[in-house]
Amino acid sequence: MKEKPNDGTHTRPLLDKLKGDYREHLKGDLVQTILAIPTESFEVNDIEFVFQLLEAELRATDAGHIQNSLTSLKDKLANSWPIIVAYANEIERGKVSSAVSHQLIALIQLTDEA
C-alpha cells in the first residue's frame, strides 16, 4: 500500500495568511485573539486571516473544540458574527477563494443555526 505524503501540501491548502505556527498569532486563546480584532477588520481583508486562524486551530485540535470556540464567538461578536457567516456562505458557493476546509464552513453554519 502506498503511503500518503505527510507534509500536508497534497491534502490541505496552504494557510497563506499565517506565518509558520499559527499559535504565534494568538494573544491568549483563539477566542480572545479574534475578539481583539477590530470590527472593521472583519469587513476588509482580515476576514480570511480570521478563517485561517480557525482552520489552523481545527487542524490542531478537533471539531468539538472549534464548535465551542464558534459558539463563544457567536455569543460575544454580535456585530461581526453575521459577517463570519456571510463569508462562510460565500466560500461555500465558490464566490470567494479560501484555504479553509468544508468542515469549518459546516461548523460555522451549524453554530449559526443553533
Instruction: For 63-114, write each residue's pLDDT tens digit.
Output: 999 999 999 999 999 888 999 999 999 999 999 888 788 999 999 999 999 8
Query: What pTM did the predictor assign?
Result: 0.75
Q: Are 31 and 73 in contact (CB under 8 A)?
A: yes
Lowest-confidence range among 15-24, 54-63, 65-74? 15-24
80 or 10: which leads in pLDDT: 80
Residue 44 sits in which domain range? Answer: 22-113
5: Cβ contacts below 8 Å, ≥ 6 apart: 11
Look at residue 2 and tell me if it is in a domain.
no
Please state the rounded mean pLDDT for residues 50-68: 88
**Between 43 and 19, the higher pLDDT residue:** 43
3-state secondary structure of 38: coil
Name residue, grid cell 504565534. Answer: 24
CA angle 111, 90, 60 (to 5 degrees): 55
Task: Tell me whether residue 103 is in a domain.
Answer: yes
Residue 58 lies in a domain: yes
* Mean pLDDT calculated for residue range 21-27: 61
Q: 49 in a domain, yes or no?
A: yes
- Look at residue 47 and tell me if it is in a domain: yes
Residue 23 CA neighbour count, 13 Å, CB half: 3
Count of domains forming the chain: 1
**Averaged pLDDT score across all residues of the chain:** 80
Query: How far is it, in rounded angstroms, from Cα 101 to Cα 110?
Result: 14
Count, residues in the chain: 114
